[in-house]
Amino acid sequence: MTTNSRMKIFKKKYTFCNVMQDKLLYNLVEDIAGEGNGRIVEMLFNKKDVNEFLIAKKMDLTINQVRNILYKLSNFGLVSFIRKKDQKKGWYIYYWTLNNEKSLALIQNYMRKKIDALEEQLNNRETKRYYTCPYCHIEVSEDVALENGFSCDECAEIYKLTDNTPFVRDIKSKITRLNNEITEIEKELDDVREKERKKIDRQNKKIASKKEEEKNIKKLATAKKRKETMDAKRKVLAENKTDIVKKKTSTKKVPVKKVSVKKTPEKKTSTKKKSEKKA
Ligand SMILES: [Zn+2]
């Protein structure tokens, strides 16, 4: 397989996931922020730091209405913001970003709850009896039918036992579809988390290498300083040595001189004569 075809498959899968995530997110946002507000997803999906004034303009809402929606989403951790002061107008502008990982996790949770509700419905259809009026098409539980003496509360027609088979089939297919979608979302979530993990790894490595570099620079500086100190010490030592040598030579000479000096008053002329003789 060539890299190109692999990329094509990857892109296809990615787009499919994105479209599905977009749609599911739309439903989720409608549930959280109210009907008609799901369209905010279009403006935030796969984007970063979106200006709230731009959102308001595109949605034809006031800034307060938009913030109201976004605060509701932020309560669920779906969006985060940064704020910047507008230098000209002096007020703060909020820039919003959709939290991809959190939204996927919420979608997953939301779908699981939906499945739970469907499974309860399925269980009811498989174990309980329902009755329907053939004229009004109103369906009631067995308890209600019993209360009404098995005749319709509205038109007095005798109830007919509901055939649960099409309901069971429909609920089962819904559950299957949701389970397939959850699997896709799980894969996407794994991808996002893996990417996030790699990003953190890269950042940590960067920090570590920078620290290592700083450490090495410090080491080199310390080594240089140490060398300089050592050199200075050596120099001082060397200078002292020559001093000592000089002093030693001078001290050797001094007593001789002293002796000679001491001797001089006694035998001044003789020493002079001796040296003269020697010379
Ligand atoms: Zn009826």
Look at the alpha carbons of 142, 145, 151, 154 in this order and tell me if their dihedral is positive or negative: negative
As a whole number of angstroms, the distance between CA 166 and CA 181 comes to: 23
Residue ranges per domain, the chain?
A: 3-98, 103-196
What pLDDT was estimated at residue 20? 76
Distance (angstroms) between ligand 1 centre and the Cα of 12 equals: 52
Q: State the greatest distance between any 2 C-alpha atoms of the chain, in Å, as a whole number.
A: 164
Q: Does the pLDDT of residue 10 top 50, yes or no? A: no
Of 1 and 213, the structure prediction assigns the larger pLDDT to: 213
Ranges of beta strands (E only) in 99-168 are 130-132, 139-141, 160-161
Distance (angstroms) between ligand 1 centre and the Cα of 171 equals: 26
Distance (angstroms) between ligand 1 centre and the Cα of 139 equals: 9
Average pLDDT over all residues of the chain: 85
The tens digit of pLDDT for each residue in 152-164 reads 999 999 999 999 9
Distance (angstroms) between ligand 1 centre and the Cα of 124 equals: 23
As a whole number of angstroms, the distance between CA 15 and CA 184 comes to: 12
The HSE-up count of residue 110 (CA atoms within 13 Å, CB side) is: 19
What pLDDT was estimated at residue 138? 94
What pLDDT was estimated at residue 255? 53
Predicted confidence band of residue 89 (pLDDT cuts 50, 70, 90): confident
Predicted confidence band of residue 67 (pLDDT cuts 50, 70, 90): very high
Distance (angstroms) between ligand 1 centre and the Cα of 157 equals: 5
Q: Which residues contact 37 (CB under 8 A, 6 or more apart)?
A: 29, 30, 69
Of 238 and 132, the structure prediction assigns the larger pLDDT to: 132
Distance (angstroms) between ligand 1 centre and the Cα of 134 equals: 7
Q: Does the pLDDT of residue 46 top 60, yes or no? A: yes
The tens digit of pLDDT for each residue in 217-274 reads 999 999 999 999 999 999 998 888 777 666 655 555 555 555 554 544 544 444 444 4
Distance (angstroms) between ligand 1 centre and the Cα of 144 equals: 13
Q: Does the pLDDT of residue 275 top 60, yes or no? A: no
Total number of residues shown for the chain: 279
Distance (angstroms) between ligand 1 centre and the Cα of 161 equals: 13
Distance (angstroms) between ligand 1 centre and the Cα of 119 equals: 29
Predicted confidence band of residue 50 (pLDDT cuts 50, 70, 90): very high
Q: In degrees rounded to 5, what are phi and psi of residue 178? A: -65, -40
Distance (angstroms) between ligand 1 centre and the Cα of 163 equals: 17
What pLDDT was estimated at residue 40? 95
Number of DSSP helices (H) and strands (E) in the chain, helices first = 7, 6
Q: Does the pLDDT of residue 1 top 80, yes or no? A: no
Distance (angstroms) between ligand 1 centre and the Cα of 129 equals: 18
What pLDDT was estimated at residue 248? 57
Q: Residue 174: helix, strand or coil by DSSP? A: helix
CATH topology of domain 3-98: Arc Repressor Mutant, subunit A (1.10.10)
Q: Does the pLDDT of residue 207 top 80, yes or no? A: yes
Distance (angstroms) between ligand 1 centre and the Cα of 167 equals: 21
Distance (angstroms) between ligand 1 centre and the Cα of 169 equals: 26
Q: Which residues contact 146 (CB under 8 A, 6 or more apart)?
A: none
What pLDDT was estimated at residue 16? 54
